[in-house]
Protein backbone atom coordinates (compact mmCIF):
# COMPACT_ATOMS: atom_id res chain seq x y z
CA UNK A 1 0.00 0.00 0.00
CA UNK A 2 1.27 3.43 -0.93
CA UNK A 3 0.11 6.43 1.10
CA UNK A 4 0.86 10.11 0.81
CA UNK A 5 3.31 9.65 -2.03
CA UNK A 6 4.35 12.50 -4.27
CA UNK A 7 7.07 11.89 -6.82
CA UNK A 8 8.42 14.16 -9.51
CA UNK A 9 11.14 12.89 -11.81
CA UNK A 10 13.09 15.40 -13.90
CA UNK A 11 12.85 14.92 -17.64
CA UNK A 12 15.71 12.94 -19.25
CA UNK A 13 16.95 11.64 -15.91
CA UNK A 14 17.46 8.27 -14.32
CA UNK A 15 15.90 8.01 -10.88
CA UNK A 16 16.13 5.02 -8.57
CA UNK A 17 13.57 4.11 -5.95
CA UNK A 18 15.24 1.98 -3.31
CA UNK A 19 13.99 0.33 -0.17
CA UNK A 20 13.57 -2.99 1.58
CA UNK A 21 11.49 -5.83 0.22
CA UNK A 22 7.81 -5.10 0.70
CA UNK A 23 8.26 -1.32 0.76
CA UNK A 24 6.07 -0.84 -2.32
CA UNK A 25 8.62 -0.30 -5.09
CA UNK A 26 6.95 -2.77 -7.45
CA UNK A 27 3.51 -1.44 -6.55
CA UNK A 28 4.71 2.06 -7.41
CA UNK A 29 5.96 0.90 -10.83
CA UNK A 30 2.67 -0.92 -11.48
CA UNK A 31 0.70 2.18 -10.51
CA UNK A 32 2.78 4.50 -12.68
CA UNK A 33 2.08 2.28 -15.69
CA UNK A 34 -1.52 1.85 -14.50
CA UNK A 35 -1.19 -1.92 -14.43
CA UNK A 36 -2.73 -1.29 -11.00
CA UNK A 37 -5.22 1.51 -10.48
CA UNK A 38 -4.56 3.76 -7.49
CA UNK A 39 -7.50 4.14 -5.08
CA UNK A 40 -7.00 7.90 -5.04
CA UNK A 41 -4.75 10.58 -6.42
CA UNK A 42 -3.43 10.85 -9.94
CA UNK A 43 -0.63 9.56 -12.12
CA UNK A 44 0.74 12.26 -14.41
CA UNK A 45 3.25 11.59 -17.16
CA UNK A 46 4.31 14.31 -19.58
CA UNK A 47 1.55 16.51 -18.14
CA UNK A 48 -1.19 13.98 -18.90
CA UNK A 49 -3.29 12.55 -16.04
CA UNK A 50 -3.25 8.86 -16.96
CA UNK A 51 -5.52 7.91 -14.07
CA UNK A 52 -8.34 9.89 -15.75
CA UNK A 53 -8.03 7.92 -19.01
CA UNK A 54 -9.51 4.62 -20.11
CA UNK A 55 -9.82 2.51 -23.22
CA UNK A 56 -8.00 3.63 -26.34
CA UNK A 57 -6.82 6.92 -24.80
CA UNK A 58 -5.06 5.04 -21.99
CA UNK A 59 -3.56 2.48 -24.39
CA UNK A 60 -2.21 5.31 -26.55
CA UNK A 61 -0.57 7.07 -23.59
CA UNK A 62 0.89 3.79 -22.27
CA UNK A 63 2.96 3.57 -25.45
CA UNK A 64 5.16 6.29 -23.96
CA UNK A 65 5.93 4.03 -20.97
CA UNK A 66 8.42 1.22 -21.38
CA UNK A 67 8.33 -1.43 -18.68
CA UNK A 68 10.76 -4.18 -17.86
CA UNK A 69 10.46 -6.39 -14.82
CA UNK A 70 12.79 -8.94 -13.26
CA UNK A 71 11.01 -11.84 -14.97
CA UNK A 72 11.47 -10.17 -18.40
CA UNK A 73 8.14 -11.76 -19.48
CA UNK A 74 9.42 -12.95 -22.85
CA UNK A 75 7.06 -15.03 -24.96
CA UNK A 76 8.46 -18.56 -25.05
CA UNK A 77 7.19 -19.27 -28.58
CA UNK A 78 8.94 -16.22 -30.04
CA UNK A 79 12.64 -15.79 -30.73
CA UNK A 80 14.63 -13.01 -29.10
CA UNK A 81 14.27 -10.98 -32.31
CA UNK A 82 10.50 -11.57 -32.42
CA UNK A 83 10.10 -10.62 -28.76
CA UNK A 84 11.83 -7.27 -29.36
CA UNK A 85 9.84 -6.70 -32.57
CA UNK A 86 6.48 -7.47 -30.97
CA UNK A 87 5.42 -3.99 -29.78
CA UNK A 88 6.45 -2.50 -33.12
CA UNK A 89 4.48 -5.11 -35.06
CA UNK A 90 1.41 -4.60 -32.85
CA UNK A 91 1.45 -0.91 -33.78
CA UNK A 92 1.74 -1.67 -37.49
CA UNK A 93 5.26 -0.35 -38.01
CA UNK A 94 6.51 -1.28 -41.48
CA UNK A 95 8.80 -4.31 -41.67
CA UNK A 96 11.82 -2.34 -42.90
CA UNK A 97 11.63 -0.04 -39.86
CA UNK A 98 11.08 -2.99 -37.51
CA UNK A 99 14.20 -4.72 -38.84
CA UNK A 100 16.29 -1.58 -38.39
CA UNK A 101 15.02 -0.83 -34.87
CA UNK A 102 15.32 -4.42 -33.61
CA UNK A 103 18.84 -4.71 -35.03
CA UNK A 104 19.83 -1.47 -33.31
CA UNK A 105 18.38 -2.59 -29.97
CA UNK A 106 19.91 -6.07 -30.04
CA UNK A 107 23.26 -4.47 -30.81
CA UNK A 108 22.85 -2.00 -27.93
CA UNK A 109 22.33 -4.82 -25.41
CA UNK A 110 25.11 -6.94 -26.94
CA UNK A 111 22.89 -9.75 -28.19
CA UNK A 112 22.81 -9.46 -31.97
CA UNK A 113 24.26 -12.97 -32.14
CA UNK A 114 21.26 -14.32 -30.18
CA UNK A 115 18.53 -12.89 -32.44
CA UNK A 116 17.29 -16.35 -33.48
CA UNK A 117 17.50 -17.91 -30.01
CA UNK A 118 14.41 -18.98 -28.10
CA UNK A 119 14.03 -17.65 -24.54
CA UNK A 120 14.72 -21.14 -23.14
CA UNK A 121 18.10 -21.06 -24.90
CA UNK A 122 19.10 -17.79 -23.21
CA UNK A 123 20.63 -17.29 -19.78
CA UNK A 124 18.64 -15.33 -17.21
CA UNK A 125 20.78 -12.26 -17.83
CA UNK A 126 20.33 -12.54 -21.59
CA UNK A 127 16.55 -12.80 -21.16
CA UNK A 128 16.63 -9.66 -19.03
CA UNK A 129 18.62 -7.81 -21.68
CA UNK A 130 16.12 -8.86 -24.37
CA UNK A 131 13.36 -7.56 -22.05
CA UNK A 132 15.19 -4.24 -21.78
CA UNK A 133 15.53 -4.05 -25.58
CA UNK A 134 11.81 -4.75 -26.00
CA UNK A 135 10.93 -2.07 -23.42
CA UNK A 136 12.96 0.45 -25.44
CA UNK A 137 11.48 -0.56 -28.82
CA UNK A 138 8.87 2.21 -28.95
CA UNK A 139 11.31 4.88 -27.74
CA UNK A 140 9.39 5.51 -24.53
CA UNK A 141 9.64 8.82 -22.73
CA UNK A 142 9.49 6.89 -19.43
CA UNK A 143 11.20 3.57 -18.72
CA UNK A 144 10.13 1.70 -15.60
CA UNK A 145 12.57 -1.00 -14.56
CA UNK A 146 11.71 -3.16 -11.57
CA UNK A 147 14.86 -5.13 -10.69
CA UNK A 148 15.51 -5.38 -14.41
CA UNK A 149 19.24 -5.85 -13.97
CA UNK A 150 19.20 -8.08 -10.88
CA UNK A 151 20.41 -11.12 -12.83
CA UNK A 152 23.09 -9.32 -14.80
CA UNK A 153 26.80 -9.28 -14.20
CA UNK A 154 28.39 -5.82 -13.69
CA UNK A 155 29.40 -5.45 -17.36
CA UNK A 156 25.93 -6.39 -18.62
CA UNK A 157 24.33 -4.11 -16.02
CA UNK A 158 26.41 -1.23 -17.35
CA UNK A 159 25.33 -2.11 -20.91
CA UNK A 160 21.67 -2.17 -19.88
CA UNK A 161 22.01 1.10 -18.00
CA UNK A 162 23.77 2.60 -21.00
CA UNK A 163 20.89 1.57 -23.25
CA UNK A 164 18.43 3.12 -20.81
CA UNK A 165 20.49 6.32 -20.61
CA UNK A 166 20.61 6.52 -24.40
CA UNK A 167 16.81 6.33 -24.43
CA UNK A 168 16.50 9.07 -21.77
How confident is the prediction for the chain on average, in pLDDT?
85
Same structural domain for residues 46 and 126?
no
pLDDT per residue as tens digits for the range 19-70: 888 888 888 888 888 888 888 888 888 888 988 888 899 888 888 888 887 7
Candidates 126, 41, 43, 40; CA nearest to 83 is 126
Same domain for 51 and 78: no
- Which pLDDT tens digit goes with each residue over 104-157? 999 999 999 999 999 999 999 899 999 999 999 999 988 888 876 555 566 655
* pLDDT value, residue 18: 85
| 13 in any annotated domain | no
52, 72: one domain = no
Q: Answer yes or no: is 3 within a domain.
A: no
b/e for 117-150, b at 16 or more Cβ within 10 A? Answer: bbbeebeebbbbbbbbbbbbbbebebbbbbebbe
Q: Is residue 43 part of a domain?
A: yes
Per the CB < 8 A criterion, the answer to whether 112 and 106 are in contact is: yes
Question: Whole-model pTM?
Answer: 0.77
Please tell me the predicted confidence (pLDDT) of residue 162: 58
Closest CA to 97 of 85, 81, 106: 85
- In this prediction, residue 35 carries a pLDDT of 86
Give 92's DSSP letter: T
Is residue 93 within 8 A of residue 124, CB to CB? The reply is no
8 Å CB contact between 160 and 105: no
Residue 96 sits in a domain whose CATH number is: 3.40.50.300
Amino acid sequence: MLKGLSLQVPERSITAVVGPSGAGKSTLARCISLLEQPDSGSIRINGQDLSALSGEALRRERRAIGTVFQSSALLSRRTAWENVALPLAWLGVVERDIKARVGELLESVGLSHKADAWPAQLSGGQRQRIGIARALALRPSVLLADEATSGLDPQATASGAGSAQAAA
